[in-house]
């Protein structure tokens, strides 16, 4: 069961299974595109994560489990020796701040392009293209392509890729891993009936559509114990052209099944700031609390006030802050002292190649000195 104090607050400590967190603020996965050399993490990334190590838990940006998984320019990987060695430096820097650090395992699936794969099509559960205007590729903006449906006999190798990536994450020193099953990437497209039209054991019923995630969870938990493995879900999400009419039935089933493993947490993108498919009423953390006994992370569009309310009412144990943590490396101190937040940065600089919009945001105390 999730550990709770008599009157939990966002800044109170939390026992995440066997990990002691200094507060309940989480830095979620935030793709920033600074791994410019073959997906190898670097000193700039170490500085970025260390700046934000005042939070209770850091989850890395999405990290590719294989070459096939790649689909974002200059995002990091965890499938080569060089990438693993690069992450070791980042992990060491964060651990020096006494902050637990999880790596997010990522496969883009159909949200990729042949230009990432030497002309080979991206893979997906079914050959259904993203109905959006374009994708950013190594060759600039390109129209979305129709992916290739994975053959049934290919799927065990993809599961093995997740396991191997988890092994590399463990070697790099991470405390745990998060399986990315959200935002229209590979696992999410297996879960959603809109994107999964398979007729084999991985398609059709909810049970079958869940099978791929189940196999990934069971593979990864042979590397890390279940209490060091989290899963991220986006039941309300429309990102990458997602959203199925049976979303509520699907995601409550998935959460109920995941409850059997004693996972570190489920990470629910319940907020609507990332878009909403509008196929019914938004799913809430309270719905997931009824079927999942373990720790729950809420995410997407939270303010300090709404986060405090979610923790106080017991529907969330932890809250992840995306945009605020980008522009406020000292976010926890600002919350603790009622200091104002920096203005949201221009999205155009989020993915620039260097420090701008990455490690150059001032802390509150630094901004006082500059003024």
For helices 206-220 and 155-172, give the axis angle rounded to 10 degrees.
40
| Closest by Cα among 119, 116, 143 to 130 | 143
Q: How many CB atoms lie within 10 A of CB 261?
A: 16
Q: Which two tokens stand for residue 319?
A: 């809250």
Q: In a 10 Å sphere around its CB, with 0-12 CB exposed, 13-18 middle and 19+ buried, how is residue 24 labelled?
A: buried
Cα within 13 Å of Cα(57), Cβ side: 35
Residue 77 is classified by DSSP as B
CB crowding 313-324: b at 16 or more within 10 Å, else e: eebbbbbbbbbb
Q: What are the CA-CA distances from residue 92 to residues 42, 53, 105, 332, 345 (Å)?
A: 12, 12, 19, 21, 28
Q: Which two tokens stand for residue 6?
A: 């008599």
Catalytic member of 185, 202, 210, 358: 185
Q: Rounded distance, CA 160 to CA 176, Å?
A: 17
Cβ pair 108, 63 in contact under 8 A: no
Q: Is 185 a catalytic residue?
A: yes
Q: Which two tokens stand for residue 349?
A: 């600089």
| Closest by Cα among 281, 78, 279 to 166 | 78
User: Annotated active-site positions, please?
Assistant: 185
């Amino acid at each position: 069961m999730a550990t709770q104090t008599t009157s939990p607050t966002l800044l109170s400590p939390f026992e995440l299974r066997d990990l002691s967190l200094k507060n309940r603020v989480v830095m979620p996965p935030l793709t920033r595109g600074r791994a410019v050399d073959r997906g190898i993490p670097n000193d700039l990334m170490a500085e970025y994560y260390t700046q934000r190590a005042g939070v209770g838990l850091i989850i890395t940006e999405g990290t590719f489990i294989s070459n096939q998984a790649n689909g974002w320019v200059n995002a990091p990987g965890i499938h080569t020796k060089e990438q693993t060695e690069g992450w070791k430096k980042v992990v060491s820097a964060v651990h020096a701040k006494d902050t637990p650090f999880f790596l997010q395992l990522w496969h883009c699936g159909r949200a990729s392009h042949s230009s990432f794969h030497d002309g080979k099509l991206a893979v997906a559960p079914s050959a259904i293209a993203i109905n959006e205007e374009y994708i950013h590729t190594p060759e600039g903006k390109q129209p979305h392509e129709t992916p290739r449906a994975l053959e049934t006999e290919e799927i065990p190798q993809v599961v093995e890729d997740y396991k191997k990536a988890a092994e590399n994450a463990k070697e790099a020193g991470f405390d745990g891993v998060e399986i990315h099953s959200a935002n229209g990437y590979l696992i999410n497209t297996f879960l959603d009936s809109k994107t999964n039209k398979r007729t084999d054991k991985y398609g059709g019923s909810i049970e079958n559509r869940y099978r791929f995630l189940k196999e990934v969870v069971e593979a990864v938990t042979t590397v890390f114990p279940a209490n060091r493995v989290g899963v991220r879900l986006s039941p309300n999400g429309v990102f990458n052209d997602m959203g199925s009419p049976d979303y509520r039935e699907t995601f409550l089933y998935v959460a109920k099944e995941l409850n059997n493993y004693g996972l570190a947490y489920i990470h629910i993108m319940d907020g609507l700031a990332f878009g909403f498919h509008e196929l019914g009423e938004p799913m809430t953390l309270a719905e997931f609390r009824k079927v999942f006994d373990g720790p729950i992370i809420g995410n997407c569009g939270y303010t300090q006030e709404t986060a405090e309310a979610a923790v106080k009412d017991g529907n969330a144990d932890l809250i992840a802050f995306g945009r605020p943590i980008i522009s406020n490396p000292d976010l926890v101190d600002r919350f603790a002292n009622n200091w104002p937040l920096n203005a949201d940065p221009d999205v155009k600089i989020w993915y620039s190649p260097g420090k701008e919009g990455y490690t150059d945001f001032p802390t509150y105390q630094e901004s006082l000195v500059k003024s």
